[in-house]
Amino acid sequence: MVTTISEGFRQFRTNLEITSLQESTTSSRQQNVRDTVAEDFEVLESFLTGSYRRNTMIAPLTTADIDVFIVLDPKYYTDQSQHALLSSVMTTLKKRYPKTPKIKPDGQAVTITFTDFKVDVVPGFYRTGGGFLIPDSHLKRWIPTDPKKHVDLWSASNKAHHGSLVPLIKMLKCWNREKGNLFRSFHLEVLVRHVLKDVTITDYPSGARWVFDKMRDKVWTKIADPAGYSDDVASYLAKSEADRMIAALDQARTAENYSNQGYAKLAIDEWRSIFADYFPAYG
């Protein structure tokens, strides 16, 4: 429990962190998964990617996905082999984890649903000209991407914001999760980074309010993958889904007004209405 807004956001930031014990568990688990794939496939490289690698994963671990990227020899590549490749990777993983009930292809990856968290195994290939190609079994195509470049870009942006961008992204991802995951995780991260590009975060309350405000103008326009491999990471989004973003902006403005008037409890209650129980209560 807290009595000031600054204390509240400091505790909120801590509440979203993965614990050291969980870090150890994810480290050993993902390495076992990588070793398993290498038993049946010729692997050129494997590495962690996604929000875990960008340091934007949020607690609890049970809601998280650990993304493992596996670069395969090009002999496994054919123009129409997306589903077949994912199915082959799934077969390999099922041999290693026969008692894990949920191992299945999921669009661009094979998802292993363990009891404590999920691991998404993304097979791919080196792309001529840079980056990688990953399968999209739904659209039967290969998608260009570069998760390594994403890590570099996010790290540089976080440095430009003196270390405040990544924690703020986590806070916005908490809001998104509490509202039913209106946005895909990567899209939300791209949006937050984009609307903060020409400003500097001074504190988390004003940063959150700024993001809710400025995202309204960007949600319905194309927004490119910062790594340069897609012209729109938001094509999936339905307009009606983001109405709650406007409500969050109103709540953030109300919280700031309460804070400016010295009503800490009312302000904290408003922030909790946005971020739910991960934001500490007043007291």
Encode burial over 132-146: b for 16+ CB neighbours within 10 A, e otherwise. bbbbebeeeebbbbb
Q: Which residue has the tokens 């009606």?
A: 240
Residue 175's closest CA among 104, 35, 270, 71?
Answer: 270
What pLDDT, in 10s, does the model give residues 56-95? 999 988 888 899 999 999 999 998 899 999 999 999 999 9
Residue 7's closest CA among 273, 265, 251, 276?
Answer: 265
User: SS3 for 113?
Assistant: strand
HSE (side-chain half, CA atoms, 13 Å) at 258: 18
Assess contact for 160 and 150: CB atoms under 8 A: no
> How confident is the model at residue 239, as a pLDDT?
55
Encode burial over 44-72: b for 16+ CB neighbours within 10 A, e otherwise. eebebbbbbbbebbbbebeebbbbbbbbb
> How confident is the model at residue 227, as a pLDDT?
86
Distance of alpha carbon 49 from alpha carbon 67, whole angstroms: 5
What pLDDT, in 10s, does the model give residues 242-251? 577 788 999 9
pLDDT beyond 70 at 238: no
pTM, entire model = 0.92
Please give the structure tokens belonging to residue 2. Answer: 């807290």
What pLDDT, in 10s, does the model give residues 88-98? 999 999 999 99
For residue 134, the one-letter residue type is I
What's the length of the chain?
A: 283
Q: Which residue has the tokens 């992204």?
A: 169
Cβ contacts of 214 within 8 Å, gap of 6 or more = 195
What pLDDT, in 10s, does the model give residues 156-166? 999 999 999 99
Distance of alpha carbon 167 from alpha carbon 56, whole angstroms: 7
Beta strand 132-136 pairing with 102-105:
unpaired
